[in-house]
Amino acid sequence: MDLHVMLLRLAVRGVILAAIIARVATAQGMPGCKDRCGNLKIPYPFGMSQGCYLNDSFLITCTYSKTYLNGNLSVLNIALEGQLRILSPIATVCGSSQGNTTKYQPLSTSFPISTTRNKFIAVGCNTTGAIRVFLGKTYTATSCKSFYNTTNKLINGSCSGTGCCQTFIPKGLRDFKIVVENYFGNVYLRNPSFCSHAFVVEQGYYDFSSLDLYSDSPNLNPFPVVLDWAVGETKCEQAKKNKTGYLCQENSECYDWDGGAGYHCRCSKGYQGNPYLPNGCKDVNECDDDQGHNDCTHICRNTAGRYVCLCPKGYHGDGRKGGQGCLQTKATVGMSMSLVFMFVIVSVLYWGVRKKKIMKRRETFFKQNGGIMLQQLLSNCKRKGSAQGAKIFTEDELKRATNNFGDGNVIGQGGYGTVYAGTLKDDMIVAIKKSKVVDRGQIEQFINEVVILSQIKHPNVVNLLGCCLETPVPLLVYEFITNNTLFHHIHDEGRVSSMPWELRLRIAVETAGALAHMHSFPINIIHRDVKSANILLDDQYTAKVSDFGVSRLVPLDQTQLPTLVQGTFGYLDPEYFYSGLLTKKSDVYSFGVVLVELLTGKNVFSLDRPEEDRGLAMYFISSLKEGHLLQILEDRVKKEGHAEQLKGVTEVAKKCLRLKGRKRPTMKEVKEELEALRNSKLNHGSELDHTYKK
């Protein structure tokens, strides 16, 4: 290999290395930790000082802007996908009058050599290269032999046994010796200018050259070697059960390491960053991307972890490349006048009949769904000067907003029905809830609730903008909330929540305030399905109570209302469940369960708990009685929460979960207590141990 070619290859490899470094440029260290040594980023779980790395295997030493693993292995780069590149030394022996010579080069790493990304290579005449491991006794893990005499022809770039041989890397190698042996029986080969070499090298990095048989070869310097790394000591399924030790953070996924016990984390689709750090995976705004990461033809709307394609006004379709795209709604011209005339006549007749059927069908649904009653109620509200209430949307408006309720606009789905993202003609983004069924016997109640709920204007309640009654099942139109649910941020995929305690307490205060406002509205509103999945969060993590699909209005002269029991298992008030009598204290009980979720981070129902404590409420009360609260509080809550503050919130939750509703506080009292606790400046830490630990 001549010098020009060699320099060109080195330059190309430099570009590749720069690309790798750029790819991991979003990686971060732990907060407050230095995460750069020279030009190299050091992402967590790696780190350079105490408290900044996962364990000693991940310690990186930085000396004069040079990075080292295990104190002596030069690090080239670290990839969050589970690879780390180091420089590996070469075992070399040159011509000797003794006839044969052996050279050993030890190599010890905290992570195994990658079997798929590296090769073991030996170069020389009459040369044997081997990797030897000591496990009670020394044995050869892998080896190859290279021969050369004047009858063989050396071929540059070929490593098939003539002058150069190569073989695989065994699995799990961490501590071993590279051995090179050469028999210099030929007097010609005893010249010190002739050398033999053995080394581990990243696959595709080394090309054999006949120059490498000589001691002055410019190609033989320490080579890059890829190590495989992983975290944990179990596979994903087992690791997820250990919440305190599970390392994959929010918006990330776990996948098993094929190199042994352990696992890797990666950001979920639509997110990027460091999955090992709290809040390390950030939403990718595909709509601002110029690399072609979205397939929208016209308008792109970014949402958390995904995006929605929309068509501009005057167009219809799915708005996607490779799909229907956006089609103009105007008829194509270019036919002969006679064909156009015939087409127009047929079309007018067909669409006239079809439109009449559609209009009649929509009119029927509108009446069945209480449309006339809603119009009258809204007219009365307007005459009385009430705040602007619900808007009645047409089916066509909502079809245009959602690309005809296309799959690309679906943002939520469950037993209740489907939620679509849509964009109205004024560019306002909304969430449209399409339920699966409707109770025709409750239409009057439904219409009254739409009118009342649409008049609630509270910063912590999702605004009901209106409804569409021209469809078989009424459609409800809400403001669009961007940052998923509280349930997602506490429990998503079994990970340890990254929500700080102060944020949890603020969300609790805001939610309590919203429910207190509903309970004191001119007509009392009982939500009836308070749960963490019905508390949405916006970009500033402000709580927004949502989903009033099963809420009920209670006349001012009534304190309880007999109803068909509805709600969610685990949050349901036991008194309401057994009596069928719904009161505002039923919401108080459900909110108490949410408070316990915020304190413990535990699921509302778990088969892993004793049978009598599988429900979170009973588990919490039992733990208090046994003095075990400290053991069930989530680690981050224990670490960040003030002792008196945590005791206070615990007492509030305990009062909310009293079995007799009359002994529970009102939501107004709950909100005031939580607000006072949040505003208090209290001592941190050890007092909690003293109070709750027997």
Angle at alpha carbon of residue 472, lines to 468 and 473, rounded to 5° = 60
Return contacts of 40-47, CB within 8 angstroms, 24+ apart. Answer: 40/67, 40/75, 40/76, 40/77, 40/78, 41/78, 42/67, 42/78, 43/78, 43/80, 43/274, 43/276, 44/274, 44/276, 44/277, 45/231, 45/247, 45/276, 46/78
Which of these, 633, 671, 636, lies nearest to 652 by C-alpha position?
Answer: 671
Helices and strands, number each (H, E), in the chain: 16, 35
Buried/exposed 330-348: b ≥16 CB within 10 Å, e otherwise: eeeeeeeeeeeeeeeeeee
d(CA 584, CA 664): 10
**Which two three-digit tokens encode residue 223?**
């080579």
User: How far is CA 667 from its chain centroid?
Assistant: 33
d(CA 576, CA 582): 6
Which of these, 481, 339, 459, 327, lies nearest to 400 by C-alpha position?
Answer: 327
Residue with tokens 């420089």: 87
Q: For the chain, how are helix, strand and coil distributed in percent, rounded to 5? A: 30, 25, 40
- Helix crossing, 616-625 with 643-656: angle to 10°? 120
d(CA 654, CA 605): 18
First to last CA, the chain: 76
User: How far is CA 585 from its chain centroid?
Assistant: 36
Q: For strand 315-316 and strand 306-310, is the pairing parallel, antiparallel, or unpaired?
A: unpaired
**Which two three-digit tokens encode residue 587?**
């919401």
The catalytic position among 228, 318, 529, 587 is 529
Residue with tokens 């990027």: 272
d(CA 425, CA 478): 15
Q: For strand 464-468 and strand 391-392, is the pairing parallel, antiparallel, or unpaired?
A: parallel
Report which residue type is found at 252: S
Helix (H) or strand (E) holding 111: none
| Burial of 566 per CB tally in 10 Å (0-12, 13-18, 19+) | middle
d(CA 544, CA 483): 10
CB neighbour list of residue 553: distance below 8 Å, 6 or more residues apart = 445, 448, 449, 452, 523, 524, 525, 526
Q: Strands, E, within 191-310: which ranges?
A: 195-202, 223-228, 252-256, 263-267, 271-273, 281-283, 299-303, 306-310
256 is catalytic: no
d(CA 524, CA 526): 7
Which of these, 549, 287, 328, 282, lies nearest to 429 by C-alpha position?
Answer: 287
Catalytic residues: 529
